[in-house]
């Protein structure tokens, strides 16, 4: 009985130590002065000591055991740790891109306003910004920093109207920035979802849900409230921002379907700020598309809504724009409606 118990404990210890692997080896130990053989099955490898107790005496057996292979669970855990580290790095990279997107947009609006105040020529400024962005792109292609796209004639024919809409949208945005405060321009541009719903229904035949329609009410109401109390209100600035919304959202819908001051500035300061505005314009547009490629359109819309809040707050602080409580309420209601609209877009209509 003692022999059987000792052999049973040795086999159990070996199985627990090496998992499902079996070892083959032979060893001998003595119990009460009698040598007993012990056989365990597996591969060759390292010598192990088995402390056994029998009859109150410690018995040690040296067993040749196999070095067990790495279990599958450990390998899977290693892969999971690697995947977790990669996901963390990707999230950090996305966060850095969003922060850079916000910062470039803030500086673009500040430099743009500083240029448009003494030089109220939005067409000229827009042409300069687009030309500067084109120069940056050509340099990136020449230096192999970004692969040059291969575009066919048919693709170019589809892109041309989208590019024209983007250019005109930028022109009207600059017109609005030249006439009214930066914060008011972006409050009006917060009504973009209204045009998105309207144009999607007209061109794509998409019927919005009642919840999505309801989310447009605070957007329109907030913009109207902010307009009534805006100190820098100007009809040209208002309708220019609205036209910019229409053109930008037309570009987005068609893409889905097909694919001032009295201070004055000298010439050097004007050129530097215009160049900086062009650089920031190109940079934040590029980052916007890179972020859109990594996240869902709904997430991008939410991030864009937060970006408007950041730009409005930054411009108010930088230019010290006077804002009444009612004006701030209207802006907040409009932005809250945009956020609600973005969240409700997750819900598809029942007939979809």
Question: What tens digit of pLDDT does each residue of 13-53 get?
Answer: 444 444 444 444 444 444 444 444 444 444 444 444 444 44
Assign residue 58 a region (left: φ > 0; alpha: ψ between -120 and 50; beta: otherwise): beta
- Say what percent of the chain tops pLDDT 90: 2
Most confident of 157-166, 173-182, 266-275: 173-182
pTM of model > 0.75: no
Task: Please say if the pLDDT value at position 58 is more than 80.
Answer: no
Q: Per-domain residue ranges for the chain?
A: 95-347
Q: Kindly tell me the sign of the dihedral angle through the C-alpha atoms of 277, 281, 282, 283.
A: positive
What confidence tens digit (pLDDT) does each residue in 203-244 have?
778 788 888 888 888 888 888 888 887 888 888 888 888 888
Using alpha carbons, list the distances in angstroms from residue 134 to 123, 138, 244, 278, 338: 16, 6, 21, 10, 32
338 closest CA partner among 216, 197, 210, 254: 216
Beta carbons within 10 angstroms of residue 76's beta carbon: 10
Q: How far is CA 175 from CA 89, 116, 163, 275, 281, in A?
A: 40, 8, 18, 18, 15
Does 59 have pLDDT greater than 60? no
Listed in order, strand segments (DSSP E) in 57-105 are: 57-66
Separation of alpha carbons 301 and 283, rounded Å = 18
Cα pseudo-dihedral 282, 285, 286, 287, rounded to 10: 120
Contact 40, 63 (CB under 8 A): yes
Rounded Cα gap, residues 119 and 136, in angstroms: 24
CA nearest 345: which of 215, 173, 205? 215
**8: helix, strand or coil:** helix
Q: How confident is the model at residue 197 (pLDDT cuts 50, 70, 90)?
A: confident
* CB 304, CB 98: distance < 8 Å: no
Q: Are 192 and 325 in contact (CB under 8 A)?
A: no
**Cα–Cα distance, 220 to 340 (Å, whole number):** 13
What pLDDT, on a 0 to 100 scale, did the predictor assign at position 71? 53
Give the mean pLDDT of 107-136: 87
Say which range, 148-152, 296-300, 301-305, has the weakest mean pLDDT.
296-300
Residue 188: the pLDDT is 87
């Amino acid at each position: 009985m003692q022999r059987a118990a000792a052999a049973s404990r040795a086999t159990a210890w070996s199985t627990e130590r090496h998992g499902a692997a079996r070892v083959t080896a032979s060893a001998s130990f003595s119990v009460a002065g009698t040598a007993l053989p012990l056989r365990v099955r597996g591969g060759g490898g390292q010598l192990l000591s088995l402390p056994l107790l029998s009859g109150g005496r410690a018995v040690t057996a040296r067993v040749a055991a196999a070095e067990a292979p790495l279990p599958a669970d450990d390998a899977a855990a290693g892969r999971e740790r690697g995947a977790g580290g990669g996901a963390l790095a990707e999230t950090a990279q996305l966060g850095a891109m969003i922060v850079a997107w916000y910062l470039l947009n803030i500086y673009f609006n500040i430099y743009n306003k500083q240029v448009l105040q003494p030089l109220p020529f939005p067409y000229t400024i827009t042409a300069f910004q687009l030309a500067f962005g084109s120069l940056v792109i050509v340099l990136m292609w020449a230096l192999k920093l970004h692969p040059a796209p291969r575009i066919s004639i048919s693709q170019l024919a589809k892109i041309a109207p989208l590019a024209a809409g983007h250019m005109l949208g930028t022109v009207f945005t600059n017109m609005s920035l030249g006439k009214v405060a930066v914060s008011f321009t972006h409050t009006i541009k917060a009504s973009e979802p209204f045009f998105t719903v309207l144009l999607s229904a007209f061109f794509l035949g998409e019927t919005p849900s009642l919840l999505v329609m309801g989310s447009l009410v605070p957007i329109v109401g907030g913009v109207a409230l902010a307009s009534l109390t805006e100190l820098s209100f100007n009809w040209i600035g208002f309708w220019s921002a609205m036209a910019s919304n229409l053109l930008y959202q037309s570009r987005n819908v068609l893409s889905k379907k097909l694919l001032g001051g009295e201070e004055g500035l000298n010439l050097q300061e004007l050129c530097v700020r215009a160049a900086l505005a062009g650089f920031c314009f190109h940079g934040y547009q590029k980052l916007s598309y890179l972020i859109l490629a990594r996240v869902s359109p709904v997430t991008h819309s939410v991030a864009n809504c937060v970006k408007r809040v950041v730009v409005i707050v930054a411009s108010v602080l930088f230019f010290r724009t006077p804002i009444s409580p009612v004006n701030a309420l209207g802006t907040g209601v409009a932005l809250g409606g945009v956020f609600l609209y973005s969240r409700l877009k997750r819900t598809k209509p029942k007939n979809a």
